[in-house]
Chains A and B, each alone.
Chain A
Amino acid sequence: MTMDQAYSWLSATLRLSTPLIFACFAGLWSERAGVVDVGLEGKMLAGAFAGAAAASLTGDVRLGLLAAVAASLALSFAQAWAEIERGGDQIVCGMAVNMIGAGLTAFAGAALFGEGGRTPALTAGERVTPVVAGLDALTLAAFAAAALSAFALARTKLGLRVNAAGENPGALDAAGGSVRATRHIAVAIGGALCGLAGADLSLAQAAGFLPGMSAGKGFIALAALVFAKWRPGACLATCLLFGGLDAVAIRLPDAVVPGVGAVPVQALQALPYLLTVALLAGFVGRARPPAAAGQPYRRE
């Protein structure tokens, strides 16, 4: 590999990791508070569409980012209503969010722009563009969000309560904290981060929205979260790893691995999922989700 290739692979890795980092930390907030989130994909799509649509209609990328966050937040509120207020099944509701996200964005895209749900191609001023060393503001923001999340979860009152809500909500309740409020805040933070993940897809990686453009990235982020055993540092590293794999898959179709031979690109695509299953099954280490994840809280 030449220096140029290495550099271009590295910058591709950073770019492709960006939505994964946002979405993975979105899942981290939610699940550390005890709310399993399989709806990352749908919220990303909502963010991607709203971001591109607003940027295209207003010509202002900042309004696009704002709209991305707002749309994803709106979906996360619906999810929080069903899961926290109604105590609904978190898996079912998360899948519902995915369907709503996929359906509504395609519908709204077709209604607003025709063109099979696509937004018009965004021009330079409507996109997120590189600021330093070929990296755009969203990539930088993703790392900042990761660092801030790690800090907040470890060193703030909110983080303390989020962890308690996810591990032993009864203890939080007995100590006089509100499990409900804590979980709502965590899910909303997750919603906002998913919006940025989506915005990165349509405003930075592509110049506009395509129906279904998240293409399973929300689930890769979920896999990364599990693979990282719900720890912030490991989440960042896993997202970079999975983003790097993606960069390899894109750049080197049928990569040749020394000693193995040609590896089909699909094997690389399946690798994050296979690694995660292997980890879950205890073949590589052992992943332990937050103890109360997936359980609606009810006082005894």
Chain B
Amino acid sequence: MSAVSGAPALELVGVSKRYGGVAANRDISLSVARGEIHAIVGENGAGKSTLMSILGGLVRADSGAILIDGREARINSPRDAAALGVGMTRQHFQLVDTMSALDNILLGDEGGALLARGRARLRAKLSGIADETGLAIDLDARAGDLPLGARQRVEILKALARGARVLIFDEPTAVLTPDEASGLFRLMKSLAGKGASILFITHKLGEALGVADRVSVLRAGERVATFDAKGLSAETLAEAMVGQRPPPRAEKPSSAPGEILVEARGMRLRGADGRALLDDVSLSLRAGEIVGVAGVAGNGQSELLEVLAGLRRPNSGTLRVAGLDIDFTRFTPAAARALGVAHIPEDRLKQGVVAGFRADHNAMLGRQREARFGGRWLNPAAITRHCADLMARWDVRPASPGLAISSFSGGNQQKLVFAREIETDPRVLLVGQPTRGVDISAIDAIHRRLTALRGAGKAILLVSAELDEILALSDRALVMRGGRIVGERAPGAANARRDIGLMMAGAAEAAA
């Protein structure tokens, strides 16, 4: 290794990146020494993935510099990154499932037209790496047959075989079992012990504290602090991550929850890969209350919404809606609607609207079977009138029902989806990420609407990655992690924010 002695293996100086008007990264500077494991923590949207993409050559920074071994580096493509000795393990593995692990590592750097020699050479090299680091896998297994942890090791080996000295791990434990995760941490430590520098992006505080030498905290695109991991407490870190925010406004009038409208018991859902997406989830939802579901994205909240909305059939469990036992084989989105369950999907621009369609057709989406739109023969005048009506009441601009929905701003598209689902007077409202992609002025309006619906006796399940939103709106907050509900807090309780943050991060299971 040729390096300027003393210089950090990787250094970022004043890196900034804006997307439109939003600063994803603002003047970020940090350094990773040789042999150091440096964790970067932050909430969703704090700017971690943008930083990753810049280092991996997928995105170019607007300003700032990246130094490798003290020399300024230009990383314009994944190829450049590899040539500079920067290897990356992404959240979504880039492997060819039908090929052996060995061929996956070989791909792109085959060493000759015939593979036999390249394969033999690579085998030798990998066995050297295995001796040095203990990182060994079944090289002849099909990548698609390997468990996720092993797939990840293939990615790491791919980087190491190409001589990577700086390794970047982007949320590496997101898909791993606890056993696999601890195996990964041992490996990271061993690699660092051999002189590799590791940048470790995570939102799990416990992991950062357990494995890193130093921890940097990103918040709203800025690096707000860097701590020495030794002696650092999870509380300090959580506070730095979520900030010292004013307590949620208590403008919510008190409301006496009424009858139970949704009651789920022991719901389990397995994904195609057999992983548990929902693991024994039970919850109840009463008229006149908002139940918040907090959690880091990808911990089962989306699946919970989908099951309750009739979009996915759970493998087991029972569900009662408005006093009726649900037969899951017949519980379609249409059936859910008929029972008075409205669903505002998380990704409204993708699941909630059809981009090429007119606004008024989008305003009918999901309601197209209602008689007022004409039945089998659609009544264009009624469709347009309905949309104009929603637009007026929700202040959607421009108020042009005939315009393609894609000509509206994201915020206005969202308003129309909200209007469509809420104005049907549902009994139960399932809301995913209600303020994602909505500008600040609209956030407040949406919050007020939700509070008003609660006052009107609706049962509302609110899934949000924004802890503030959960704390401000809900009567009870559930926390999901790994497909389970790991705890419940009243938002008004002392230390609720910190406790929920810790449960989300999995740093304090005991706190539940």
Contacts and interface: CB of A to CB of B under 8 A. Distances in A.
Task: Give yes or no for direct A-B contact (beta carbon below 8 Å).
Answer: yes
Interface of A: 155-161, 163-164, 167-168, 170-177, 291
Contact of B114 (A157, A171, A176, A177): A157
A257 B298 CA distance: 59
Interface in B45-91: 78-79, 82
Given A161-B107, A163-B98, A172-B107, 12 more contacts: A156-B115, A157-B113, A157-B114, A159-B115, A163-B99, A164-B99, A168-B95, A171-B104, A174-B108, A175-B108, A176-B79, A177-B108
Interface string B87-106: 00000001111110001101
A159 B119 CA distance: 14
A157 B115 contact: yes
A157 B108 CA distance: 9
B445 to A, nearest CB: 34
B109 interface: yes
Given A155-B115, A156-B115, A158-B113, A172 B99 contact: no
B116 interface: yes
A183 to B, nearest CB: 15
A164 B96 contact: yes
Contacts of A172: 96, 107-108
A160 B106 contact: yes
B274 interface: no
A161 B96 CA distance: 10
A168 B110 contact: no
B98 A176 contact: no
Range class of the B interface residue count: 20 to 34
A170 B90 CA distance: 12
A176 B78 contact: yes
A280 B460 CA distance: 45
Contact of A155 (B99, B116, B158): B116
Contacts, number: 62
A168 B106 CA distance: 15
Contacts of A164: 96, 99, 107
B114 A155 contact: yes
B323 to A, nearest CB: 41
Nearest to B79: A176
B115 to A, nearest CB: 5
Contact of A171 (B107, B110, B113): B107
A167 B97 contact: yes
A161 B110 CA distance: 10
A193 to B, nearest CB: 20
A174 B94 contact: yes
B113 A168 contact: no
B134 to A, nearest CB: 25
A160 B97 contact: no
B243 interface: no
Given A160-B103, A161-B107, A177-B107, A171 B112 contact: no
Report whether over half of chain A's contact residues are helix, strand or loop; otherwise say mixed.
helix
Contact of A167 (B96, B112, B116): B96
A256 to B, nearest CB: 43
A209 B110 CA distance: 44
What 9 A-B pairs are tightest by C-beta distance, nearest first? A175-B108, A157-B110, A171-B94, A176-B108, A176-B79, A174-B94, A175-B107, A167-B96, A168-B96
5 contacts: A157-B113, A167-B96, A167-B98, A168-B95, A175-B109
Nearest to A170: B94
A157 B103 CA distance: 10
A155 B104 CA distance: 14
Contacts of B104: 171
Interface in B98-142: 98-99, 103-104, 106-110, 112-116, 118
Given A160-B107, A163-B96, A168-B96, A173 B115 contact: no
B112 A291 contact: no
A176 B110 contact: no
Nearest to B78: A174
Contacts of A157: 110, 112-115, 118
Residue from the set B82, B98, B104, B118 with the largest chain A CB neighbour count within 10 Å: B98
B98 A160 contact: no
Contacts of A155: 114-116
Nearest to B92: A170
Contacts of A174: 78, 94, 108
Contacts of A159: 115
B114 A156 contact: yes
Interface in B454-479: none
A263 B94 CA distance: 51
Given A157-B115, A160-B103, A171-B104, A176 B82 contact: yes
A159 B116 CA distance: 12
Nearest to B119: A155
Nearest to A299: B58
A3 to B, nearest CB: 44
A175 B118 CA distance: 15
B78 A160 contact: no
A167 to B, nearest CB: 5
A167 B94 CA distance: 11
Contacts of B79: 176
Contacts of B113: 156-158
B94 A176 contact: no
Contacts of B106: 160
Nearest to B83: A176
B24 to A, nearest CB: 17
Contacts of B98: 163, 167, 291
A175 B108 CA distance: 5
B94 A168 contact: yes
A168 B98 CA distance: 9
B331 to A, nearest CB: 26
Contact of B97 (A156, A168, A176, A177): A168
Contacts of A175: 94, 107-109, 158
A176 B76 CA distance: 12
A160 B110 contact: yes
Contacts of A158: 113
Contact of B115 (A160, A168, A176, A177): A160
A161 B107 CA distance: 7
A151 B113 CA distance: 12
A163 B98 CA distance: 9
A291 B78 CA distance: 23
Residue from the set B96, B106, B114 with the largest chain A CB neighbour count within 10 Å: B96
A177 B107 CA distance: 8
B71 to A, nearest CB: 21
Contacts of B109: 175-176
A174 B159 CA distance: 11
Residue from the set B95, B97, B118 with the largest chain A CB neighbour count within 10 Å: B95
